[in-house]
Structure 1
């Protein structure tokens, strides 16, 4: 039976002041299907890279498993898909049939093998790389975000596919997807890993209970710190009085021509006792404050929403095109009132993103119909692409006419570490760039939000926080997203494209 045993493992990247992982201990069985959950930037992909032997660490990792990482690196995407997949699996054409068997299970046609890999849709690329990964027998999968760029139908196909496979560790932020495929959870909690038996819902129940307990613990520690600080101030005052007494005693003794080195014994003892008490109190404060650092405090997000008192947009007989191709099977008709949230649903490539661009006035995409917005409506738009972000956060804030302090505060609520504030936007991870776009949208004043796949690359905890914000604030929105848990929670009306 294959096993993976991690003992006292610690890791930090060069330049980091704190460890990403500290004295981690974990034991895994090869038959388990594990979901790896944690905030963006907490080290999920890093952990997989450590297991693959890509990074040096302290401690020990013992295993008799052979790891298979997804997504494999594609060195030449201009080659045919067949050449790319054979290169990844390090096999020749005589074993192509093994890949084709996996492709069949994922609903991929053999026709894609002759097409250049970079001309496949993102969903097709994902499925092709999965087929290559699982064509290799007796390997333990390390699967990093297989649901990105997949529509709801594609996610269901991949979920059914992974259910049939042996053990693996899967990073995914789609809660319904995780519930369907896993039987254990590894949760990254600050610098530690915790193991839970069960699916995502099992972990969620434990996470909610932990948050409640930690909120109570935080309140208790803060009260104790306040008491200790008051005690420290009293002790400092006591020590000051003792010092004055010592100096006064010394001065009086000099006045009566006694030994100049003589100091009141009583005053000296009082001062020494006060100093020792102060040291213990300050050490207690430091210990309590250190405990506070290990408490995960749920953040309450806000948005700069300004509701209108009238219909926000009316769309009549809208038809959209991409190039010369008509996208919609039938004309689009809908009305959006204040507080309504319209979810656009459809397969990849059906035209959902094109509709959002057309609604914002890109008239060259409209082949028929009308779009009528309320007078002087303010739209906050989140694109599904990252538009080659670069530069500083200050420059980004200036571009969108935001106060930098407001943007930084929102990023902190979304789980950004302060050291990331100095990083060039181009060097941020996909998850960090996505959070930046969301933070910007939440900060800018708006009457309506148009969000195109806003949850891509976002961790499950952040998804929950955004979901809570929307359900409590009830903003007007048009949303495209393939996380059905999210869209079912926030949507008030649905339109299939």
Structure 2
């Protein structure tokens, strides 16, 4: 058992002009299973890179362990999986096979080309490699992306059974709840350490926020009182200034226009009032510095345009195939106005192919029947959005979006304004996902098709999406592996079963 000690850590990116971490102190026990949480752009992946020594910083990070980051970069994905792993770490074949068995993966994947593995298989293979190594301390960044519900549970069980500690970043609430015993939360002005899982963190944070909100309200009232006093003193000072110009003072010196006496008295009075003003300004500044920056989310808007059609889609005995091999058993469903249909199934069962078929983009063969209106306006969130490039203004023009509305959606999703100046391809994955989501929200549509919308989005964004869906009641087809989200927003489900 040893500690990772961070002292006076300060770091910020030049493009942002602000520090993500400011004289941060924290001590992490290496035996902990630590969940690293926080809003997108708050610095979770940056924090891991700082531990890895990949970024220059002010401060001191001391540790006895050396770190290893997940997901590991792959130099050549066309090689055999075993060969890929061999180039990255030293291990015996039986060791990697043991880890794969624990992850419920057939060890035969080792003898397949790495780029032919599914996203879930690639994730599990790289996790197996991470834990074959008992020398390095694991830093695990978003392991649940591309994993279906069963896969997420398998990885959660795998991590829970591990004796060694690790740091894991994930936005899957159930997953992080199951696997961690401590939470490190990167908040606006501080890093806060919690003992317990995600549920404990949420409960304690709500209590802290409620207390801080009460203190904020008291401070705001005190600040407003001080500002009002300052305004009154400033007005009084200005009024005294007028005494120097022709005001009579028959009771003062006896002269009707004794401007010398009046001017001196006014100057003394004004000096006192200015001193009071400066003192009040100092008090206001001090009070404002005490205000806590509680995480608050804004309500999103979704441009749902209800259709006059009562039924948008009806599918009868539909089956999709590639090269004569069916992806799933025949399915039947109806999508009526206001329905929110969740497509459920394991990785490789044809969920995204079904979405492509509904869009008219499916490249395989289809049997069965589909009935839908000739014209239907659709808004899409894609799983792969790497073709979003360039400046936000050029992107909005290309996509025929209202630029100001796009920016407003991004702000409401928690994107900082300084990010707006960056090119999309230079942004973090969470920021790029917000752009894809904001695009869909601002696109007027009768039907919304969302393929894994929660990937890379933080918990606050997830709650925002739940709220806007429940408020607007749009007609939707959703593919998502987050069980909490599906239970809260879906009105019906279609389960895809492999033939």
Q: Please, what TM-score do these two structures have when normalized by structure 1?
A: 0.91
Q: Could you tell me how far apart the structure 2 residues matched to 1:307 and 1:63 are? A: 58
How far off its partner does 1:65 sit?
2.6
Give runs of aligned pairs for residues 205-284 of structure 1, distance below 5 A. 205-248=203-246, 264-284=263-283
Q: Could you tell me how far apart the structure 2 residues matched to 1:325 and 1:103 are? A: 31
How far off its partner does 1:414 sit?
0.7
How far off its partner does 1:344 sit?
0.5
Q: Could you tell me how far apart the structure 1 residues matched to 2:82 and 2:225 are? A: 69
- Asked if 1:143 is matched to 2:140, the reply is yes
Runs of 4+ residues deviating >6 angstroms? 249-253, 258-263
Alignment correspondent of 1:122 = 119
**Structure 2 gap ranges (5+):** none
Mean CA deviation greater in 337-346 or 261-270: 261-270
Q: 2:381–2:440: 8 Å Cα contact kept in structure 1?
A: yes
> Can you list the C-alpha shifts for 1:433-484, whole angstroms capped at 9, x where unaligned?
1111111111222222110000111112211221232233332211101111
Alignment correspondent of 1:433 = 432
How far off its partner does 1:31 sit?
1.8
SS at match of 2:311: coil
Q: Could you tell me how far apart the structure 2 residues matched to 1:232 and 1:134 are? A: 63
Alignment correspondent of 1:37 = 37
Alignment correspondent of 1:6 = 6
Give runs of aligned pairs for residues 37-436 of structure 1, distance below 5 A. 37-89=37-89, 91=90, 95-165=92-162, 166-248=164-246, 264-292=263-291, 294-308=293-307, 310-322=310-322, 324-362=323-361, 364-365=363-364, 367-374=366-373, 376-436=375-435
How far off its partner does 1:359 sit?
0.9
For the aligned residue pairs, the C-alpha RMSD in angstroms reads 2.7
Q: Could you tell me how far apart the structure 2 residues matched to 1:363 and 1:105 are? A: 36
SS at match of 2:471: helix
Q: 2:212–2:292: 8 Å Cα contact kept in structure 1?
A: no
> Can you list the C-alpha shifts for 1:102-143, whole angstroms capped at 9, x where unaligned?
122122333222323222222111111111111111432211
- Asked if 1:27 is matched to 2:24, the reply is no
Q: Could you tell me how far apart the structure 1 residues matched to 2:316 and 2:276 are? A: 77
Q: Please, what TM-score do these two structures have when normalized by structure 2?
A: 0.91
Mean CA deviation greater in 340-349 or 64-73: 64-73
Q: 1:283 to 1:446 in 2, by over 3 A?
A: farther
Mean CA deviation greater in 55-64 or 220-229: 220-229
Q: 2:396–2:406: 8 Å Cα contact kept in structure 1?
A: yes
Q: 2:304–2:474: 8 Å Cα contact kept in structure 1?
A: yes
Q: Could you tell me how far apart the structure 2 residues matched to 1:397 and 1:228 are? A: 45
> Can you list the C-alpha shifts for 1:10-63, whole angstroms capped at 9, x where unaligned?
211224322101122212222211111101110001111111122222222232
Q: Could you tell me how far apart the structure 2 residues matched to 1:219 and 1:366 are? A: 62
Mean CA deviation greater in 382-391 or 263-272: 263-272
Q: 1:358–1:365: 8 Å Cα contact kept in structure 2?
A: no
